């Protein structure tokens, strides 16, 4: 990450969170969904450019004991390929290393654009006999 960016160890403002999710191609969420996500994450950080724009973010949800899930990894298209995603993920993983008991399990859902980064940082595919599943409630 260059000096043109600052990692901030908190959730971004609600409006920036929603804007960044949309611009990065993540699912659109309502303010009613996003507010609790910002308040209740186990760890959250965002990256701000020198112009003040929130350019990237990521968070971890988890139980604080052994189970942690990386979520909302997003970088604005104009700021990609500058190491921001790597810096966010490294910071999040450092939080697990520093704050969680030994033996923590960290998982994520790996969208294609992020897969090379996740693999470089040690994430491995679950295996041929296990797949992720999702259930969207009405």
What would the pLDDT profile of 75-132 be if each residue is shown by its tens digit?
999 999 999 999 999 999 999 999 999 999 999 998 888 899 999 999 998 877 777 7
pLDDT at residue 33 in the model: 96
* CATH entry 3.40.50.1220 includes domain 5-120: no
Whether this model's pTM surpasses 0.75:
yes
pLDDT at residue 108 in the model: 93
List the structure tokens of 122. Answer: 């040690």
Condensed to tens digits (0 to 9), the pLDDT of residues 27-42 reads: 999 999 999 999 999 9
Indicate whether 134 pLDDT > 70.
Answer: yes
Q: Environment class of residue 70 by beta-carbon count within 10 Å: exposed (0-12), middle (13-18) or buried (19+)?
A: buried
């Amino acid at each position: 990450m260059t000096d043109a960016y600052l990692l901030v160890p908190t959730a971004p403002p609600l409006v920036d969170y929603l804007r960044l999710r949309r611009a990065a191609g993540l699912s659109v969420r309502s303010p009613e969904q996003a507010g609790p996500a910002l308040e209740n994450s186990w760890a959250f950080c965002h990256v701000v450019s020198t112009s003040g724009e929130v350019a990237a973010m990521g968070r971890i949800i988890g139980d604080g004991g052994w189970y942690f899930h990386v979520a909302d990894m997003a970088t604005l298209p104009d700021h990609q390929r500058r190491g921001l995603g790597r810096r966010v993920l490294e910071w999040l993983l450092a939080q697990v290393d520093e704050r969680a008991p030994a033996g923590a399990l960290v998982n994520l859902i790996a969208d294609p654009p992020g897969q090379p980064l996740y693999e470089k940082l040690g994430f491995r595919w679950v295996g041929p006999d296990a797949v992720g599943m999702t259930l969207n409630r009405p």
